[in-house]
Amino acid sequence: MFTINDNFTLLPSSYLFSEVAARIKAYSESHPDAEIIRMGIGDVTRPLCPAVIDALHKAVDDESAMDTFHGYGPEQGYEFLASKIAAHDYRDRGIDIGEDEIFISDGAKSDTGNIGDILSTANRIAVTDPVYPVYVDTNVMAGRGGHLLPDGHWSKIEYLPCTQENGFVPDLPATAPDIIYLCYPNNPTGTVLDRAALTMWVEYCRKNGCLLLFDAAYEAFVRTPGIPRSIYEIDGAREVAIEFRSFSKTAGFTGIRLGYTVVPKELKGLDNNGNMVRLNPLWRRRQTTKFNGASYITQRGAEALYTPDGQSQSRETVDYYLGNAAVMLDGLRHAGYSCVGGTDSPYIWLKAADGMSSWEFFDHLLDRYHIVGTPGSGFGPAGEGYFRLTAFNTRENTIKAIERLKS
């Protein structure tokens, strides 16, 4: 009889956002008249911008004619998009990234989950607490988690608490892990790290031979001058860091799916014989084998984001969400909540009212105000007693939600 990957049986039965969705569905069925405002999963509400829509239509037409039709594309993405990414997202900002270091994919969630394929299961990982659950769950699936402890931590993972006491900024690890995940602007707390803090992490990784997996999915929300938008703004990062980026929140691609991962050529890890091996060809090998490339149509849509119209339209969308976040921060603070995030990020992290647990507060907000958020404890034990709200709803619903909370 065949056997299964037992690691899957170690995981809680459902993924955080699936659990939240199931609870909303149950509540809506039993309260059909409730006008629920969703500020839970970070899904966007604004439509794709006109420049992208035009490019998508044109790409669909390309597929209708023999001489412009595209079947399988390059697994790591089309050159027309990779060259724009390298130029606009990096070289124009003084960062040296080549097209052959960019791997276009169907999103940062898949890539942050899949990257473990090219890394030994013996590596010890460190994550912030709270943390985007994909990093932890995918490492548990691969056998790097150990077992779930009564306090909600996994035995083999080092957790770097981000609490009110340390201003939600993680300290350096105590146990020299092999791989460190950082996400900045942070999901879920919405906080950012400045240049000095990121420099400290890059130097730590260089000194200790650690790989830094840097999730920059929310970089487009950075507005504070001096806050880095890429880990490669930090000297030496090319030797230690992989960066993940997403078009989901920047340009509304949560449904059509597109992201990319940067694996610099300098980045090397040890093999079993003690040889230093480049990660770039390993990731290429992984992607060409297991992934057939993001669709031609979607990549043409993303290419339009790098035109002047695409740039200004997508910036306007991000500004709209940041405007929502400002409304939320103001309203929540007036209502007496203690919050962080929301200035360079679409996420606001707040302390649950009246000492409630995260899930108690979830039920309270849903039942009393018909507002959905995400319980902080779903992001890790240090999130207990906290709650995440997103700024991705419409302005109208955002104002309505805040008015409900203030009442």
Shortest approach of ligand MLT to residue 165 CB, angstroms? 24
**Which CB sits closer to ligand MLT, 95 or 322?**
322
Q: Is the CB of residue 349 less than 8 Å from the CB of residue 341?
A: yes
Site for ligand MLT in 226-255 (CB under 6 A): 248
Nearer to ligand MLT, 42 or 116 (CB): 42
| 320 vs 100: CA distance, rounded Å | 34
Question: What is the spatial distance between Cα 294 and Cα 258, in angstroms, rounded to a whole number?
Answer: 7
> What is the dihedral angle through the alpha carbons of 195, 223, 253, 54, rounded to the nearest 10 degrees?
-130
Q: Say whether residue 189 binds ligand MLT (CB under 6 A).
A: no
Q: How far is the CB of 210 from ligand MLT (least distance, A)?
A: 25
Nearer to ligand MLT, 187 or 230 (CB): 187
Long-range interactions of 325-331: CB distance < 8 A, separation 24+? 325/391, 327/395, 327/398, 327/399, 327/402, 328/389, 328/391, 328/398, 328/401, 328/402, 331/402, 331/403, 331/405, 331/406
Q: Across the strands, what pairs with 259? A: 105, 246
Give min distance, CB of 246 to ligand MLT, in A: 7
Inter-residue contact 102 to 85 (CB < 8 Å): yes
Our CB check for ligand MLT shows the closer of 132 and 201 to be: 132
Closer of 106 and 158 to ligand MLT (Cβ) = 106
Residues 337-366 that bind ligand MLT (CB under 6 A): none
Selected binder of ligand MLT within 76, 187, 298, 313 (CB under 6 A): 187
- Which residue lies nearer to ligand MLT by CB, 188 or 264? 188
**How many residues form the binding site for ligand MLT (CB under 6 A)?**
6
Nearest residue to 40 (alpha-carbon basis) of 392, 299, 318, 401? 392
User: Does 109 engage in binding with ligand MLT (CB under 6 A)?
Assistant: yes
For the CB of residue 89, give the shortest distance to ligand MLT in the complex, in Å.
19
CB of 187 to ligand MLT, least distance (A): 5
Amino acid making up residue 300: R
Q: Applying CB under 6 A, does 42 fall inside the site for ligand MLT?
A: yes
Rounded CA gap, 82 and 91, in Å? 12
Residues near ligand MLT (CB under 6 A) are 41-42, 109, 132, 187, 248
